[in-house]
């Protein structure tokens, strides 16, 4: 039931852990795979260190011309070949986060864990709707999981 | 994906859920409706504090108040939680597609590397 509050994806890639790490941290590699279907990544700026900024542009070709979306964020945890945590928010080109009119938070957090395993590298990616330093975020998974179970019963 | 009304509603829902007291209130209400007085007891909170939390949950559409003038019991409305679930499944698809592409790209890179070693 964990997928109700966060996206968790686990996969084993047949490549060494250093190589998989560079897929997330080297813009030239990142651009090659990150775009979802039909999207390209014309800009990927990554200052991969705690507190460092990241800025990503996704571009989609539409009948009305290319549509560009900008995402900005900050690296929270950088542990080479092991763990990467960063925030992500929709923004304008200058990196100003688009404030929802409601005043709510538009920031999400991506956690990537790498582990060397037989035959390659296990990647566990967790994308949560709120950054882990938000007030009350601790215990979020557990509490929500329990709540979801109660609702389902 | 430009911000939509749905996105805005999700932000409000997430903001409301980003508080352990409010999640506990929801867990309590999942077991049945309760008045503000009844809710205040297990949380060791003063009425104004609990009222404030309930107001946030109400604005997020997670709690509805009864019309009975004197007690106005609180009840859980699970609809926004279902939207949260949709948020997750939407992102799941995007990430699955990305991981497929990552897989393909890693295979390609390693093939190139092997080719270079041979030549």
Q: How far is Cα A33 from Cα A7, in angstroms, rounded to an integer? A: 19
Check CB contact under 8 Å for A3 and B98.
no
Check CB contact under 8 Å for B102 and A33.
yes
Range of the structural domain that residue A114 is part of: 2-152
Domains of chain B: residue spans and CATH: 5-118 (1.10.10.10)
CATH of the domain at A106: 3.30.530.20
Enumerate residues 6+ apart whose C-beta is below 8 A from A61. Answer: A38, A67
Q: Of A85, A90, A109, give the one whose Cα is nearest residue A7.
A: A109
For B59-109, write each residue's pLDDT tens digit. Answer: 988 899 887 666 788 888 877 776 666 666 667 778 888 999 999 999 999
Check CB contact under 8 Å for B109 and A19.
yes
Q: Is B70 on the interface with A (CB under 8 A)?
A: no
Cβ pairs A/B, distance under 8 A: 122
Enumerate residues 6+ apart whose C-beta is below 8 A from B2. Answer: none
Number of domains chain A contains: 1
Q: DSSP label at B100?
A: H
For A62-117, write each residue's pLDDT tens digit. Answer: 666 677 778 899 999 999 999 999 998 878 788 877 653 333 336 788 999 999 99
Report if pTM > 0.80: no
Distances (CA, A) of B81 to A101, A126, A127, B21: 21, 19, 17, 17
> Which tokens hold the place of A77?
């945890």
């Amino acid at each position: 039931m964990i997928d109700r509050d966060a996206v968790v994806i686990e996969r084993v890639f047949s490549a060494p852990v250093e190589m998989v790490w560079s897929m997330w941290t080297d813009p030239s590699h990142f651009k090659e795979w990150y775009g979802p279907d039909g999207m390209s990544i014309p800009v990927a700026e990554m200052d991969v260190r705690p507190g460092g900024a990241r800025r990503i542009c996704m571009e989609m070709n539409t009948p009305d011309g290319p549509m560009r979306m900008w995402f900005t964020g900050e690296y929270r945890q950088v542990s080479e070949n092991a763990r990467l945590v960063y925030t992500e928010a929709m923004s304008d080109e200058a990196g100003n986060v688009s404030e929802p009119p409601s005043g709510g938070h538009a920031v999400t957090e991506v956690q990537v864990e790498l582990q060397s395993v037989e035959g390659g590298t296990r990647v566990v990616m967790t994308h949560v709707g709120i950054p882990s330093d938000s007030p009350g975020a601790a215990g979020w998974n557990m509490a929500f999981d329990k709540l979801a179970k109660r609702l389902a019963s | 994906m430009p911000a939509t009304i749905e996105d805005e509603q999700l932000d409000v829902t997430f903001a409301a859920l980003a508080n352990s007291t409010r999640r506990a209130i929801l867990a309590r209400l999942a077991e049945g409706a309760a008045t503000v007085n009844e809710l205040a007891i297990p949380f060791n909170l003063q009425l104004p504090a609990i009222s404030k939390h309930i107001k946030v949950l109400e604005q997020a559409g997670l709690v509805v108040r009864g019309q009975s003038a004197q007690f106005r019991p609180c009840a859980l409305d699970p609809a926004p939680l279902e939207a949260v679930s949709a948020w997750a499944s939407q992102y799941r698809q995007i990430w699955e597609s990305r991981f497929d592409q990552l897989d393909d790209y890693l295979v390609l890179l390693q093939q190139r590397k092997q080719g270079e070693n041979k030549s």
